Amino acid sequence: KQEVTQIPAALSVPEGENLVLNCSFTDSAIYNLQWFRQDPGKGLTSLLLIQSSQREQTSGRLNASLDKSSGRSTLYIAASQPGDSATYLCATPLTDKLIFGTGTRLQVFP
Amino acid sequence: DGGITQSPKYLFRKEGQNVTLSCEQNLNHDAMYWYRQDPGQGLRLIYYSQIVNDFQKGDIAEGYSVSREKKESFPLTVTSAQKNPTAFYLCASSVPTVQPEQFFGPGTRLTVL
């Protein structure tokens, strides 16, 4: 059974800081790992998808890494901005569905 | 613009009523999914469909029903048998490959009065 955990559950930082969000999974035999952003009351926006054969993916100020052997993925946010405030979710597929973590709620204050 | 639409954005239901949530996509995706999101619990899969006229139960299907008569549409009915339906409901779609990337709609917030 795949379980996905995200730490910390909440994070509040001043603008400009570099951040690391953590995602752990119990079964290392994953196909991929996907990071999402969710704004309050909104749907999920896909940020990055790392295939099982990849070690990292980058998009702008975001960098996601994947270490299957240790069951971990990290989302690195460089030079955080107030507009980055949202909940960040990681998920990995299990047969026909995605298994989600409970998310990290991020607040970046000016 | 290609994407997934859900309606309504907010829905209020009296106890004992059935309500139907709409999900439409124009991404030409074969697979569609319904998730429920509760505070502190993450997303849980209700139903999914890999192809028209076929669907499977997810982890929390009791009290819900779906249909998939068209590729573009996957409506979810919350029946009176669902004892605690107040939640945020999210619809998603994907190309049904071995490594599916799912795309989500904006969600419907259902509140039972």
Q: What is the mean pLDDT of chain B?
A: 91
Residues A63-97 have pLDDT tens digits of 999 999 999 999 999 999 999 999 999 999 887 78
Residues A40-69 have pLDDT tens digits of 989 999 999 998 889 999 999 999 999 999
Cα end-to-end distance, chain B, whole Å: 35
The angle at the Cα of A83, spanning B86 to A73, to the nearest 5 degrees, equals 75
Q: What is the mean pLDDT of residues B90-95?
A: 92
Cα end-to-end distance, chain A, whole Å: 41
Best mutation target, B37, B41, B102, to test chain A (most A CBs within 10 A): B102
> Could A98 and B40 be called an inter-chain contact, meaning their C-beta atoms sit closer than 8 Å?
no
Residues B7-53 have pLDDT tens digits of 999 999 888 899 999 999 999 999 999 999 998 778 999 999 999 99
Q: Which of B89, B36, B88, B95 is nearest to B71 (CA)?
A: B95
> Could B105 and A102 be called an inter-chain contact, meaning their C-beta atoms sit closer than 8 Å?
no
